[in-house]
Every structure is written in structure tokens, then in C-alpha cells.
Amino acid sequence: MKKKAFLKLALASTLILLLASACGGNNTNNESANSTNEPATTTNTETDSTNTSTDEPAKEELPPVELLYYIPQPELQPDIASVEAAVNDYIKPKINATVKLMSIPFGDYDQKMNTVVSAGETFDMMWTSNWAFNYETNSLKGAFKDLEQLVKDYAPDFINSLPKAAVEGARNSQGKLYAIPNYQIIAQGGGFVVQKEMAEKYGLDVSTIKTYKDLEPFLEKVKAGEPDKIAFGSRTNTFVPYMYGFDGLGGIEYRTGDPNYKLENVLASPEYLAHHQLLYDWFKKGYVNKDVATANFADYQKAGKIVSFYEWTLKPGGEIEMKQNMGGKDVIFIPLYEPRFSGVQPTMTAISNTSKNPERAMMFLNLANTDPVLFNLLAFGVEGKHYDKLDASHIKVKTDGGYAPNVAWAMGNVTIGYLLEGQADDTWPKTIELNNSAMVPEIWGFQFNQEPVKTELANMDAVYKEYEAAVTTGAVDPNEYIPKLVDAMNKAGSEKVLAEKQKQLDEWLASKGKK
Amino acid sequence: MIRTGKQSSFVEMWINLLFILVALSMVVPFLLVIAISLTSEEAILTKGYHLIPPAFSTDAYRYIFKSPMILIQAYWVTILTTVIGTIASLALTSMTAYVVSRKDYRYVKPTTFYIFFTMLFSGGLVPSYILITQYLHLKDTIWALILPGMLSPFYILIMKGFIGEIPKELIESSKVDGASEWRIYFQMILPLSKPALATLGLFISFNYWNSWFPALLYINSEKLVPIQLLLTRMMNTINFLTTSAQFMSGLSIDTSKFPNLSARMAMTVLAAGPMMFVFPFFQKYFVKGLTVGSLKG
């Protein structure tokens, strides 16, 4: 018996020992992490660029705090520590706070943030959107702090500088403001992107292109003259209802000018069929690559093989960015419809409900959106180390500098930041002008609450995914497959969802006195 | 094997053929991955995938080894977790299994049930996350990669089955000779369960080598990213960004920065490679362990 007790004891003590060593490892690790942060590398932030923030609530009596900030990046950046150090040196005297940047690759962002939020972890700020780490769902779950008052107190100038519709669009379906927009282009005007060289070679007259059909003669010539290129790079979901006489918001469409705002299932509309018949026709004629349903568009694009394609948003000055993605080929943009207000939800920043210092977080966000020095630090890193200045407003990012996330749009107000090499000087004024002049849909501000039809939506999503790649690229005969798709969607509950949308829209319209 | 004429050699042929096909279906995809990683990007896009590269190129590997530090760091993390994890896990598994296999231990039944119970019910993702980050404070440490997978109830039960077969007279006679419990465990039980240890060791090290999920959840520092997470991340992000293209059309992501197809395949080869060299060393024990150590029945 005695020996048995000893055995038990031994086992228990091994376990404890192991745990203890685990804790020890933890400590040393933290220490090393801190020490890497400490050697503040550089403080050469721009002093010559004008400091526009006028409302710095910098007061000495603020106790020092650390803000934890989750940001998505395409890849982890090896030298994020020196950016963090420079940011902290800059904001410490202003708001007596330091920030810890927690960067997460895009592919993991959803999963990781969902876990972090569900676990009720204490942190301060995070990026959110309508396509990754869903804003609407998480706002209903209670992940975010209501910002209404905080914005009024700590960022009034910034929020007032935005178009009214932008702030309106940042609200969730309950009309609450849970995130502030990372201001950038918020108008969507899609159109064709064509390789300049090819357009010139085959005499494409840009002014004649108004619809998909108009591009056909050009595609025919390209197909004949460039056998190893892809005349038209078909992509999924290029049916844009606004090109075909619909009005509304994404997923909530009615015929333009309909006084009853009767919502329609666009998948079942004749226009939808016609659009895909054309794509299928192009596919059969060989303008589109044969493996379009399975191939990775970006790979072909990068190889410079795609001569023309449809792009959902043509940005002012976007030709330069597009050139990078087109394997270095110059491109021209051909807009197909009037730019519409598309909303700010693709990129926003929220404050966590678990934050202990929401006021300070708001001050930080205010700075990130109004102070070019801070924004440029967050978006592009440290001058000389991560980018070189070409002139007062243009920079060239060093790809091997250790910090080149290239996602300025996730970090704050891009219109106060630097321009990339080659972008036109007036890119930002033009962007702002476009935002201000864009057509605001009549039912702007309406947010569909998905809660009542969650199951149906999930089913529909699954059904749609099944057909998406083949049908919407035009790789299969739409006459056969679109009825199948519509039928499957009906079975999944599309009618119930449409009725629910109509019901909510009618209520909203009534509350606005429009119906 | 007794050969009884024509018929059995006919059957034998079919069996051989079947297994050749099974083996091929496993080997060919991997050969294809290697071939793609050695094909030039241009050739992949124009000619598709081929087992024999139409245009040989080592660009993909050159691209990856351009910044070898990240890769070396990731390898180091993976190797460290695999080695520490496997050794610690084997020690704990065999000790636990030994204890519950001893018939003279009074609480065999409750203990076994306690172990078995965790096979049926687990805490789930969020509670585990809370435990690891908020109570054990393991976030961003290498222990977050090692501890969660350390003790698997399934392996304990396999090990128990194996140790249970060792005659208890052996233990008793050692006792009579005056051996302490420690000595019995280390000098009798462990050497006798070598095949089982080797088999489980192989499983466990595979698990550690291939694991990326704990790292995804608990690791923020780039210094602690294991190789599999590096790979998964690359794939996930590329996939994710291409499928969300429509939603983020207003946002710019420079897709030209992403590794191309052949580089992704090269990465796969580098991540899977070392394990394939480890495997043959274990094989001797592997077969024996599988037949002897696994659940009887």
C-alpha cells in the first residue's frame, strides 16, 4: 500500500512539475516579448506634414493605459514591433496610451475573432466588416460597444466630416452605431478593365461600350489575334442588378421607380437569364477560358493573360493598383453605370464591449482618422525603414522592409494618408468628390435583420455556393441550370426570405413616411 | 504461404493488383504535388498539371528560400513542439495507462471511466480557449502548442490494452526481488512496451507535426508560428481573398504579392517532407505495435 501511495504521489508531482514549468516558460516568454518592444527604434515621424487634428483631448491627468488592437493583414509582418514602438512614441504624449497591435492574417481572422469574442477576452479595438468577421451578426451578439455617445464626445469633427449617408450606413439593423467607418471609396461604379496595349492594338473605342454586348466585337478580334490570351476573364457574380433596371441595396432589389417597392428575386428575372446567356455564349465562342469554373482568376490575372474583365468598383486612380495585379500591364477603365453609394460596411473599426478604456480607444481611433502622421505610421510603417518618400505626398513601399501590409483601408481614413508611387495627385479629392456625388439609393439606411430567417439564409447560401462557380461565370448552359438554381433556392426558402425582407422594408418605409 | 496451384496465384495476382492501385492512388497525388512545385508558373497556366514538368523550374523554391529565416524559425518551432510534445506525451500516456492497467489499484474503474468520459464529452472550443488564455495564461507561449494535445484518452486506452497483456507475475516477481514501483515501471514495463510506445509515438508525433489549430488560436507572435500554420495561413488567406473579391472590390489587396501555385506546392512539399523520412525508422515497430498493441477483439 505504501508503495502505491508513493506511485500516486509521484504521478501527481510530475503533473504539477510540468504545469509549473509551463508557467515558468510563460513568464520568460513574456519577458522576451516585452524586451523586443522596448528598444524604441525610431521616432522619425513626419513633422513637416500638417497636423490637422485640432481636438486632441490630451490631458496630463489621464492614467496610462495599453490598448489592444486586432487588425487583419494579408500576411504577418516581421517588423510590426518597430511600427508599434513608433506609434506609441507618437501617441503617448497626446493621449497617454500605448497600443498593442495584434495582427491576424485574413484567412484566420473570422475564426480567431469569433473565439476571442466568445471567450469574452478583454481587448479594445478590432476591425470588422460585412464580408469578414461580420459586423451585423456580431453587433447583435453584443460584441461591440455602442459608440453613439463616445463619437460625440471624442471624435465629433471626424464624424461630421463624413457624408451623412456614410455614418447612416455604419449603423446595424437596429439603427445603432457600433463601429466607425474606415473612410475610403464608398461609391460603387463597376465596369470593364481592359489591357491598354490590347485596346490600342485592336482599336477599341471606349465611348461605344455601354453594356456587355458592346464589348463583343473587341473580344472577337482579341480571340482571333491573341490565341494564348484570355479575351474575357469571366468571374463569379458579375450580374449587377443596377445595370438592368433594378434599384435598391445588395440583396434587396426592386424595379427602378416602383412606387410600391415590390421586391423581386433577381435570380428568377429574365435579365439575369439574359446576362448569363451572353456569358455562356462567350464561353462557347472561346472568349472565356475553358477552365473558368475551377481556375483561380487571380493566377491568370497575375500572369497578364486576361485581356478584359468586369470589376465591381472602379476607383479613381485605381489603374495603378490594378496594374500591379495585372502582371504589370497598363489598363483602362470603362465604367458601365453611374456610381452608387455602396456603403462603408466593407471596412470599419469597432470598440470591444469588453474594453476597459473605451474612451481612450475612441481617442485613438479619432487620431487614426484625423491625424495623417498616426495614420501613415499604421498604414505604411516608419519612413526610411518601411517606405521611401518620393515627394511630399507620394511614397514607395519597400517590399522587403518588414512592414508592407498594403491594407491602408483597414487602418483608418485613407484620404489623409500618403499616395502610392504613380497615383494621381488628386486621387483623394476625387475619391471624396465621387463619394459625395454618388447616387444614394432611395432605401439607403435600411438594414435587413437576418435573425427571423437565419436557417433559410444558411440553406440558400449552401445551394447558391453549389451553383455559383459554374452558373455565374457562364461555364454551363443557363437555360438548363438557372431554372434548377431558382428551383433549389425556392426549396431552400427563398420565398419566405423575400417575404420577410418585404415585411421589414415596408415597416422601415412606413417609419420613414415613404409609404 | 502455401501455393495450391493455379487458382491461388490468380487470386494473389488480383490482390497484388488491388494493392498496387491503392498504393498508386496515394503516391501519385504526392508526386504530382512535387512535379507542380518544380514546374514553371507559365507552364502551369498554359498546359495545366503534369506529372513530368513540361518546363522545369526551381523558381518556387527560390521564392520560398528568399526569406529562409521565417521558414527555419517555423521548422524550429515545429520540431521543438514535436520532440518535447512526443516525449512528454508518451511519458504521461504510458504512466497513466500503467496505473489503470494494474488490477491491484483500487480506483481502476473510476479512473478509467474518468478517462473514457473525456472521449465522449469535451469542453468545446470556447471553454478551452478561456482555460488556456485566462487561467493558464499560455497565450503566445510554446506550451499552448504542446499542452493541449498532450494526453489523449484514446491512446491511453490503447496503451492500457498493451500493458494489460504483460503478465502480472512479472510485476509480482520483481516486487519479491525488492524492486520499487519506479524501478518496475522503468525497467520492466517500459522496455516491454517498446512496440506500443513506438507506434503511439509515431501517431503522437504526426499529430504534433501536423497541428496548426492551437497555433491559430493561441499564437500571435510570429516567432512561434509552426510550419503547418504557415502553410494553412497562406492557403486560407489566398482562398478567402479570392472568394470575397466581390465584397472587397473597393478595397485594394495586392494579389501579386501572394505566392503563386508552384510556390504553394513547394511549401506543401517542405512541410510534409521531413515526416516521410521519419516514418521508415518507425516502421519496424509500427507493424508489430499495430497488431499487438491495438485493441484486442
CATH code, domain with B270: 1.10.3720.10
A25 falls in which pLDDT band (50, 70, 90)? very low
On whether residue B54 sits in a domain, the answer given is no
Are B280 and B232 contained in the same domain? yes
Reported as type and span, the H/E element at residue A248 is strand A246-249
A258 falls in which pLDDT band (50, 70, 90)? confident
CB contacts, 8 Å: B126 with chain A = 115, 118-119
Domain count, chain B: 2
Q: Give yes or no for A123 touching B (CB within 8 A).
A: no
On whether residue A252 sits in a domain, the answer given is yes
Are A176 and A225 contained in the same domain? no
* CA of B230 vs chain A CAs: smallest distance (Å): 10
Is the pLDDT at A22 greater than 50, yes or no?
A: no
Are A194 and A103 contained in the same domain? no
On whether residue A30 sits in a domain, the answer given is yes
pTM above 0.90?
no
On whether residue A162 sits in a domain, the answer given is yes
Q: Give yes or no for B272 touching A (CB within 8 A).
A: no
On whether residue B113 sits in a domain, the answer given is yes
Beta carbons of B246 and A312 less than 8 Å apart = yes
Beta carbons of A321 and B181 less than 8 Å apart = no
Interface size A-B, in CB pairs within 8 Å, comes to 171
Are B26 and B151 contained in the same domain? no
Is the pLDDT at B236 greater than 50, yes or no?
A: yes
Q: A213 is in which domain, residue-wise?
A: 188-339
Are B33 and B64 contained in the same domain? no
On whether residue B138 sits in a domain, the answer given is yes
* CA of B250 vs chain A CAs: smallest distance (Å): 5
Are B29 and B71 contained in the same domain? no
On whether residue A446 sits in a domain, the answer given is no
CB contacts, 8 Å: A108 with chain B = 216, 233, 236-237
State the pLDDT at residue A251. 82
Are A310 and A423 contained in the same domain? no
List the single range of A436-440, B45-49, B267-271, B287-291 with lowest mean pLDDT: B287-291
Taking only the tens place, the pLDDT of each residue in B135-188 is 999 888 999 999 988 889 999 999 998 888 888 888 888 889 998 989 999 988
Beta strands per DSSP E along A302-407: 306-311, 331-335, 340-341, 348-351, 387-389, 394-397
Beta carbons of A115 and B125 less than 8 Å apart = yes
Chain centroid offset of residue B191 CA: 24
Give the SS3 label for residue B258: coil
On whether residue A65 sits in a domain, the answer given is yes
On whether residue A59 sits in a domain, the answer given is yes
Q: B186 is in which domain, residue-wise?
A: 60-292
On whether residue A317 sits in a domain, the answer given is yes
Are residues A146 and A171 in contact, defined by beta-carbon separation less than 8 angstroms? no
Task: Report which of residues A37 and A208 the model is more confident about.
Answer: A208
- Dist. CA A206–CA A199, nearest whole Å: 9
List the single range of A144-153, A291-300, A343-352, B256-265 with lowest mean pLDDT: B256-265
* Residue given cell 522496455 in the structure block: B191
- Dist. CA A407–CA A71, nearest whole Å: 10
Grid coordinates given for A195: 489591357
Grid coordinates given for A164: 451623412
Are A412 and A462 contained in the same domain? no
- Dist. CA A514–CA A508, nearest whole Å: 9
On whether residue B286 sits in a domain, the answer given is yes
Task: Report which of residues A161 and B258 the model is more confident about.
Answer: A161
CB contacts, 8 Å: B100 with chain A = none
* Number of Cβ within a 10 Å radius of residue A504: 18
Are A33 and A154 contained in the same domain? yes
Task: Report which of residues A297 and B20 the model is more confident about.
Answer: B20
Share of chain B above pLDDT 70, in %: 86
Domain count, chain A: 3
- CATH number reported for the structural domain that contains residue A318 in this entry: 3.40.190.10
- Mean pLDDT within A294-318: 84
Q: Which of A339, A357, A383 is the last residue of a domain?
A: A339
Are B24 and B116 contained in the same domain? no
Best of B49, B73, B183, B253 to mutate (most A CBs within 10 Å, chain A) = B253
Beta carbons of A74 and B257 less than 8 Å apart = yes
Are A65 and A179 contained in the same domain? yes
Is the pLDDT at A88 greater than 90, yes or no?
A: yes
Q: What is the mean pLDDT of chain A?
A: 84
Q: Give yes or no for B173 touching A (CB within 8 A).
A: no
On whether residue B23 sits in a domain, the answer given is yes
Are A356 and A492 contained in the same domain? no
Please give the residue of chain B at the shortest CA–CA distance from A34: B221
Q: Which of A440, A471, A488 is the last residue of a domain?
A: A440
Q: Which of A143, A481, A110, A36 is nearest to B243 (CA)?
A: A110
On whether residue A235 sits in a domain, the answer given is yes
Best of B84, B249, B261 to mutate (most A CBs within 10 Å, chain A) = B249
- Dist. CA A160–CA A180, nearest whole Å: 12
Taking only the tens place, the pLDDT of each residue in A324-341 is 778 788 999 999 988 888
Touching B: A residues 228-247, CB under 8 Å? 228, 235-237
Q: Taking the alpha carbons of B185, B186, B188, B190 in that order, is the dihedral positive or negative?
A: positive
State the pLDDT at residue A21. 43
Are A172 and A207 contained in the same domain? no
Are B31 and B80 contained in the same domain? no
Grid coordinates given for A113: 475573432
CB contacts, 8 Å: B70 with chain A = 78
Are B166 and B27 contained in the same domain? no
Reported as type and span, the H/E element at residue A368 is helix A358-370
- Dist. CA A38–CA A328, nearest whole Å: 40
* Residue given cell 478561456 in the structure block: B130
On whether residue B45 sits in a domain, the answer given is no
Strand partners for A188: A340
State the pLDDT at residue B91. 93
Beta carbons of A108 and B236 less than 8 Å apart = yes
Share of chain A above pLDDT 70, in %: 88
Q: Taking the alpha carbons of A192, A196, A198, A202 in that order, is the dihedral positive or negative?
A: positive
Sheet with strand A191-195: strands edge to edge: A230-233, A306-311, A191-195, A331-335
Grid coordinates given for A318: 485605381
Task: Report which of residues A243 and A54 the model is more confident about.
Answer: A243
- Dist. CA A369–CA A383, nearest whole Å: 19
Are B134 and B178 contained in the same domain? yes
Best of A35, A103, A118 to mutate (most B CBs within 10 Å, chain B) = A118
Beta carbons of B236 and A107 less than 8 Å apart = yes
- Dist. CA A285–CA A279, nearest whole Å: 10
- Dist. CA A176–CA A179, nearest whole Å: 9
Are B66 and B17 contained in the same domain? no
State the pLDDT at residue A35. 37
Q: Give yes or no for B110 touching A (CB within 8 A).
A: no
Helix-, strand-, coil-residue percentages of chain A, each rounded to 5: 45, 15, 35
Are A165 and A54 contained in the same domain? yes
On whether residue B48 sits in a domain, the answer given is no
Are B141 and B223 contained in the same domain? yes
List the single range of A83-87, A463-467, B77-81, B121-125 with lowest mean pLDDT: B121-125
* CA of A430 vs chain B CAs: smallest distance (Å): 15
Strand partners for A171: A177
State the pLDDT at residue A27. 38
Is the pLDDT at A18 greater than 70, yes or no?
A: no
Are B33 and B167 contained in the same domain? no
Are B110 and B27 contained in the same domain? no
**Helix residue ranges per DSSP H, chain B:** 5-37, 41-47, 59-65, 68-101, 108-120, 125-130, 143-146, 153-164, 168-176, 181-183, 190-192, 194-210, 213-218, 227-243, 261-293
Grid coordinates given for B274: 521531413
Beta carbons of A4 and B251 less than 8 Å apart = no
Which residue type, as a one-letter code, is found at position B23?
A
B252 falls in which pLDDT band (50, 70, 90)? low
Is the pLDDT at B268 greater than 80, yes or no?
A: yes
Are residues A355 and A125 in contact, defined by beta-carbon separation less than 8 angstroms? yes
Q: Give yes or no for B95 touching A (CB within 8 A).
A: yes
Beta carbons of B143 and A22 less than 8 Å apart = yes
- Mean pLDDT within B183-198: 87
